[in-house]
Structure 1
Amino acid sequence: MKKVLLQSAVAAAISMSLMTTATAQESSALDIGRLALAGYGDVTYIDQPNMKDEAGNDIQNNVVARFVPIFLFQLSEKIHIEAELEFATTSEGETETVLEYANMHYFFNDNTIITAGKFLLPFGQFGANIHPSWINKAASNPGIYGGHGGNGSLAGVTYIMNDTGVNVSNTWDLGDAGRIFTDFYAVSGPRQEAGDHGGGVEIESKNGDNNDSMAFGGRIAYAFLPEWEIGMSYYSGAYSDDGDLNYSAYNIDFNWVGSYSSVRGEIFGSTAETEGEDEGEEEGHGEEWVKDFDKSGWYIQGTWQARQLGKAWLNPVEFVVRYSDTESDFDGSVEHDFEEDGGKTGSRIYYGVNYWLEPSAVLKLGAESTSIENEEASHTSVPDDRIFLQLAFGF
C-alpha cells in the first residue's frame, strides 16, 4: 500500500507540473556544450589518543585528505549532466576513489526537474546538501550518520544515502507565503549484507539489485527563505534477497538561519524486519518469527558568528556546538543479523571554532566526546575523545 501511494505521488507530481508553462531559462549558468568544474576538498588532522581497533591496538593519529571534483556539462537548454568523484587518502596511506553520483537533469519546466542516474537521495538535509566539508560547520559528521568519514566507536543509525533511479523534484512558489519543495523518487533500494544468518541492511549504492523490488521515497519541505525551512522525508524498500523483508526510514529536518546565528537538526527513525527461529522445537528447528529492529537518533547544531560584536578582527570567527544521540532496541535476539549495532549507541557532543579565510575556505578546530550507553554489548567500546584540525575549501 505504501509503495502504491508513493508511485501515485510521483505521477501526481509530474501531472501537476503540466499546469505550468514549459519554458527553458534563456540565461544559463553554462553555455550549451560547455564543461565546468566545481567541487571541494579538505585536509584533516585527527588526534585520537584513546581509540583502538578491533584487535585492541592503538589507532594512531592520522592526517587524511580529500579532493572532490564535480563535473557539470550542459548538453542543451533543458539537459544538464553532473558527476562527482571523491579521491581520498585512507588511514593506511592508500588512495580511495569513489563515484559519489553521476546523473542527468532534465528541466521539464520552470518548476520541475527530472533526474535519472545515481544521485544523493533527498532524505533529510545533511546528506543531500550539507555534507561537503566546506559547508558542514563541524569537522566531523553528526553522530547519527555512519560511514562516509567514520564515526569512531559510535555506530551511526543511517548513512548519507545515494542510489540509482529516477527523482522528480518540484518547487512551488507561494509568493510572500514562502515555497514548497517536493521530491519523489524510485531507486534500486537497500540490500542484504553478507552474513551467516542473512546479515543486516546495506544502503550504499551498488550495481544492480538483489531482488525484484524497488525502493520508493520522497521529501516534502516548506521554506520561508532565507530564514527557515522544515522538511519531512520517507524511504521504504525490500532489502532481503528474497524480497520478503522490508526496511523503512523517516527523517524530520529543520533549519533556521539568522543574521549572526543558525540552528539546524534532524530526527531519524528506521525499522528493519528480521527473521529467525525460536529454540526448543524438535530436530533443532524452532518456530520461525519476524521481528522489527528499530534504530533512531537525532542531532541539533547551533552556530554563532563573532562579527556580531562589531570588532573587525573577529569577523572571520564562528563558534559551533552540536549534540547527537542514537539508540536501538538491540536485545541480542537479532545479534547475528545486526551484530555491528550491538551496544554502539549513545551520545556525542562537539565543540568547535572556525576561522573563515575566504567565503569558501575555512580553518576548523574542534573537539568531540562520545558516551556509549551499553559498553558490555559492544565488546569493543573504548573512550572516544577526538580533536580535529581541518582546512576545507570549495571552488
Structure 2
Amino acid sequence: MGFHLYKFLMKCNLLVLYIILFLPLMCYAKDQDNKVATNITDSSNVSEAETPALLEDYYFNIESVSMETEIPKDWKRFDFHGFFGVTSPVKGRDDDSQQPSSRFLDENEATLWIGKRISKKLSFDSEIEIKKGFTQYDLEIFKFDYEIIDKLLVFHIGKFKFPLGIERFVEAGTFNKLIDRPLPSIRIIPGTYSDIGGMFHGIVPLPYDTKLKYEIAVTNGLEGPEPKDVQQLWDNNRNKAIGGRLGYECLPGLEIGGSYSRGKYDEDNELDIDFLGADIQYKRGNLEVRGEYITSHVEQETIYGGDYSRNGYYLQTSYKYPFNLDYLKYLEGVVRFDSVDPNRNVTDGEEADRIALGINYYLNEHLEFKFEYEIENEPGEEIHSKSFVQAIFRW
C-alpha cells in the first residue's frame, strides 16, 4: 500500500513539475505567433500554422537535411543519405535496470537511406540501421509505393513500419527530440516494429479544412509477446496481423488518432496478442506537443502465468527557438514524462515512471548536439537519475 501511494504521489509531483516548466514556455510560444519559426526539416518559408507532417514526410528524403527553399526533383536519380549518431553517458549506472542509451557502445548507430522515383506514381525506398556498436545490421524498410489516387489512396508493399501509434514516425535520432525513446515504445511495442506485408494509406480531405488520415495493413505479425520477438523474414504461422491507425486533423496543427492491431503469435495459431492506442499531437511553428497511450493484451498458456495486460503512456513538449546565426541555427528545449507497466498482474520491478529534460543545439542543418537528463522511479529502488549526450551528423 505504501509503495502504491508513493508511486501515485511521484506521478502527481512530476506532472506538476511538467506544467510549471512548460506553462511559461507555451505562453511565450503564443507571443511568437507573428514570427516565422520553422522546423529543421521544413522550408524556411513554411507558415507557422502548418499542419503536422504527413506520413511520407517523416521518411528520410533529401528535404530532411536541407534548408533550401527549392530542391531539384529529378526522379531519374537515386537519393542517398542518412545520419551517424554517437552517444555517451555523463552520469548513470550501467546495469540491466537502465535504458540501453546509457551504454556508450550499444547505442552508437548509423542509418543509411536510398530511394528512387521510378515513375510518376511508383517509387522505392529502403532504410538500413547499423547499431549495437556497429555490430548489428537491420533492414528497417524495403518497400515500393504506388499512388493509386494521388494522396487519397497509396499502396505499400514490402517491409515497412507497422502502422501503430505515432512515435514510430520520430524514433530515428534525427527526428527524436530526446536521446531515449518513450518507455511504452520499447517495452510494449517492439522497438522499431517493421513487418512484411501490404498496406493502404491516404488522406481524405473533409469540410472546414479538416482531414482524415488512414493506414490499414496486413502483415506477418509478431512471433512472440516480448519486444524482441519481431520476425525479420519468415513467418512462424499462417495467421496474419491486421491493424492500422485513423487520424483526424480537426484543427490546423491539431490531430487526434487511434490505433489497433491483432494477430496470433505462436506457431500453433492459438494465442492472440493485440494492441490498442490513442494519440494526440499539436504543432504550431516550432512548438510541438505530443502524447500517446498504449495498452496490450497477451494470451498466454497457464503454465507460463496465463493471460496478462500491459499499458503505458507518455506526454512530451518541445520548443525550438531559431537564432539563424553563423554557428547557431536553433536551440531547443524538451520535457517528457512517461510511464510503463509491462505486466499489470505482477509487481516485478519492470514498472517505471520517468521524467526527461533535454536541450538540443543545432550548429547547422547537418550537425546537432543533444543533452538529456532523466529522473526515474522503479519499484524497490530509490529514485535515481542519469544523463547523457549525443552528437548527430546527417547528410
What corresponds to 2:278 in structure 1? Answer: 252
- The match for 2:390 is 390
Moved over 6 A (4+): 310-315
Task: Name the CA shift for 1:132/1:230 in 2 (closer, same or farther; >3 Å).
Answer: same
What is the rounded CA distance, in whole Å, between the counterparts of 1:105 and 1:202 in structure 2?
28
3-state DSSP of counterpart to 1:72: strand
Structure 1 residue 33: deviation in Å? 3.9
> How many aligned residue pairs are there?
320
**How much has 1:34 moved relative to structure 2?**
2.1
> For residue 66 of structure 1, what is the aligned residue in structure 2?
109
Q: Deviations over 1:170-192 (max 9, x none)?
A: 11122542211111010001113
Q: Structure 2: which 5+ residue stretches go unaligned?
A: 1-70
Aligned partners of 1:313, 1:236: CA distance in 2, in Å? 49
Q: Secondary structure at the match of 1:108?
A: strand
Q: What is the aligned counterpart of 2:377 among 371, 380, 383?
A: 371
Matched, 1:99 2:99: no
Question: Which secondary structure state, in structure 1, belongs to the residue aligned with residue 302 of structure 2?
Answer: strand
Q: TM-score, normalised by structure 2?
A: 0.73
1:173 aligns with 2:202: no
Aligned to 2:312: 297
Give the distance between the partners of 2:382 and 2:94, measured in 1 at CA: 7
Aligned CA distance change for structure 1 residues 311 and 99 (closer, same or farther; 3 Å): closer
Q: C-alpha deviations, 1:67-90, integer Å up to 9, x for none?
A: 211110222222111100112352
Residue correspondence of structure 1 range 290-369 to structure 2 within 5 A: 291-306=306-321, 316-331=330-345, 342-359=348-365, 361-369=367-375
Q: Deviations over 1:227-248 (max 9, x none)?
A: 2211111110001110110000
Tell me what 1:41 maps to. 84
Q: Give the Cα–Cα distance (whole angstroms) in 2 for the partners of residues 172 and 253 of structure 1.
A: 19
- Distance in 1, matches of 2:73 and 2:322, equals 35
Q: 1:63 to 1:246 in 2, by over 3 A?
A: closer
Q: State the shift of 1:276 in Å.
A: 1.7
Instruction: Choose the corresponding residue for 1:108, options 135, 144, 148.
Output: 148
Secondary structure at the counterpart of residue 163 of structure 2: coil
Deviations 1:202-241 (A, max 9, x none): 5523222111100000110012575221111111000111
Shift of 1:254: 1.0
Aligned amino acid, residue 251 of structure 1:
G
State the one-letter code of the partner of 2:181. N
Separation of aligned partners in 1, 2:331 and 2:341: 34
Aligned to 1:106, what secondary structure does the other structure show? strand
Specify the alignment match of 2:258 in structure 1. 232
SS in 1 for 2:349: coil
> Kindly tell me: are residues 38 and 231 of structure 1, through their superposed partners in 2, closer, same or farther at Cα, counting changes over 3 Å?
farther
CA contact (8 A) 1:330 1:342 kept: no
Residues 292-330 of structure 1 show CA distances to partners (whole Å, capped at 9, x for unaligned) of 31010000001133459x999987221111000012445
C-alpha change, 1:29 and 1:100, in structure 2 (3 Å) is farther
| One-letter amino acid of the structure 2 residue matched with residue 304 of structure 1 | Y
Residue 284 (structure 1) aligns with: none
Instruction: Measure the CA separation in 1 of the matches of 2:240 and 2:85.
Output: 35
Indicate how the Cα distance of structure 1 residues 29 and 74 shifts in structure 2: closer, same or farther if over 3 A, else same: farther
The structure-2 alpha-carbon separation of the partners of 1:297 and 1:330, relative to structure 1 and needing over 3 Å to count, comes to closer
| 1:145-184 to 2 correspondences below 5 Å | 145-146=185-186, 155-156=187-188, 158-174=190-206, 176-184=208-216
- Select between 62-71 and 209-218 the one with higher mean Cα deviation: 62-71
CA distance in 1, matches of 2:305, 2:87: 44
Q: C-alpha separation between the residues in 1 aligned to 2:256 and 2:192?
A: 19
Q: Secondary structure at the match of 1:145?
A: helix
Distance across 2 between alignment mates of 1:214 and 1:294 = 21
- Tell me how large the CA RMSD over aligned residues is: 3.1
Structure 1 length as normaliser, TM-score? 0.73
